[in-house]
Amino acid sequence: MPLWLAASLNNCSRCGTGLVFGAVDGDQRNRLVCPACGWIAYVNPRLVVTALPMTDAGQVVLIRRGIEPAVGAWAQPGGFLEIDETVNQGAVRETLEETGLMIEPGEVIGLYSRLEAAVVVLVFEARIVGGAFRLSPEATEIVAFEPHAIPWPEIAFKTTYWALSDWLRRRHPDLRPGDVMTERRRWEG
C-alpha cells in the first residue's frame, strides 16, 4: 500500500494496541492485525465520484484546481463518496460544490484505479440542468471547453486523462486525445 496510507495505520481502532503486519488464518495475504484483540485493519481503496458536465452545446466543463494535489491543473469536478449517499448523489453534490452547476448524471464513461492514491475514480458524463459557474478556493477557474480545445498538457491526473480520452473516443471518434507526455511527471506522486 502507499507509504502515506501505511503511516496512518499504527494502532488498533478497537483497543489502541499497536498493529502488527503478518499472516492471518484463512487469508491469502498478510494483514495489519491487533495482537491484543485480533482486530484486522483491512485497507481498501476509496471511491471518488466525478462528472464530466456537458453544456447543451456539447462543451465539457473542467475546473482549474486551486488546492493540492495538482494545483493549477485542470480536472473534472468530484470528490470522495460519503457513506450515506449513492454514487449519483455524490457526483451531483461534488459538482455543485465545486462548480455551482446542477447536473444530472448519465452514462458512466469509466471506472479507473489510481493505485498511488489508493482510490478508484468513477466518471459520469452529466447533463447540466441548472446553476451557474461559481469559483471557490477549490476551483479558481471554470471553463466549458470545446471537445477539440481540451487543455491536454495541463490535465491534473491520469484518471482525468483516461476519462477524457474515453469520452472523446465515444462521442468524437474523429478527434484524438492530445499529447500529455511533458506533464507525466506530475502524475508520479
Running DSSP on this structure, what letter comes out for residue 37? T
- Closer by beta carbon to Zn ion, 20 or else 71: 20
- Closer by beta carbon to Zn ion, 34 or else 164: 34
Of 72, 127, 137, the closest CA to residue 104 belongs to 127
Residue 156's SS3 state is coil
| Distance in Å, CB of 17 to Zn ion, minimum | 5
- Closer by beta carbon to Zn ion, 41 or else 47: 41
| Distance in Å, CB of 6 to Zn ion, minimum | 18
- Closer by beta carbon to Zn ion, 23 or else 37: 37
* 8 A C-beta contact, residue 91 and residue 80: no
Of 125, 114, 130, 119, the closest CA to residue 168 belongs to 125
Give the binding site for Zn ion (CB under 5 A). Answer: 12, 14-15, 17, 34, 36-37, 39
SS (H, E, C) 58-119: CCEEEEEECCCCCCCCEECCEEECCCCCCHHHHHHHHHHHHHCEEEEEEEEEEEEEEHHHCE
| Distance in Å, CB of 45 to Zn ion, minimum | 24
- Closer by beta carbon to Zn ion, 32 or else 163: 32
| Distance in Å, CB of 2 to Zn ion, minimum | 24
Residue 12's SS3 state is coil
| Distance in Å, CB of 112 to Zn ion, minimum | 35
